[in-house]
């Protein structure tokens, strides 16, 4: 069973940067996709970035493309989300997730395909 633990959230001023970490434990071989999702108050959870840990292929939502970068450290079994040029609309609870499902471009951020979730880490951006 895979367990995910996020860290690195906090408060930052608009224009600033943060780096989130997602450490995985357990048997992660079959859950080779790792993704970052976020949920703002009153809004649905949305997928923003993913990485295929087998070949480091990545994907991003339009809302974060060019500002956020997902990466991995295989030795530490950890995935990172580097967030730059943050603005108030980035304020949300950020969740790490993993799956071994067959994802397509249209389904890659569909929550129902992701079967393992962390507890989340809060990111607050003040303007």
Each residue's pLDDT tens digit in the chain (127 positions)? 899 999 999 999 999 999 999 999 998 889 999 999 999 999 999 999 999 999 999 999 999 999 999 999 999 999 999 999 999 999 999 999 999 999 999 999 999 999 999 999 999 999 8
What count of Cα atoms within 13 Å lies in the side-chain half-sphere of residue 103?
Answer: 25
Whether residue 123 contacts residue 94, with contact meaning beta carbons closer than 8 Å, is answered with yes
Distance, CA of 20 to CA of 51 (rounded, Å): 14
Res 27: pLDDT: 85
Quote the pLDDT of residue 3.
Answer: 96
Minimal CA–CA distance to 34: which of 54, 17, 18, 19? 54
């Amino acid at each position: 069973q895979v367990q995910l633990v996020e860290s690195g959230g906090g408060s930052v001023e608009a224009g600033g940067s943060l780096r989130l970490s997602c450490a995985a434990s357990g048997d992660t071989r079959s859950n080779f996709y790792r993704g970052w999702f976020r949920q703002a108050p009153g809004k649905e959870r949305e997928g923003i970035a993913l990485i295929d840990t087998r070949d480091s292929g990545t994907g991003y939502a339009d809302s974060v493309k060019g500002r956020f970068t997902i990466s991995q450290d295989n030795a530490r079994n950890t995935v990172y989300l580097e967030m730059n040029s943050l603005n108030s609309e980035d304020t949300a609870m950020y969740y790490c997730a993993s799956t071994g499902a067959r994802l397509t471009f249209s389904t890659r951020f569909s929550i129902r395909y992701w079967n393992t979730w962390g507890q989340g880490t809060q990111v607050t951006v003040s303007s």
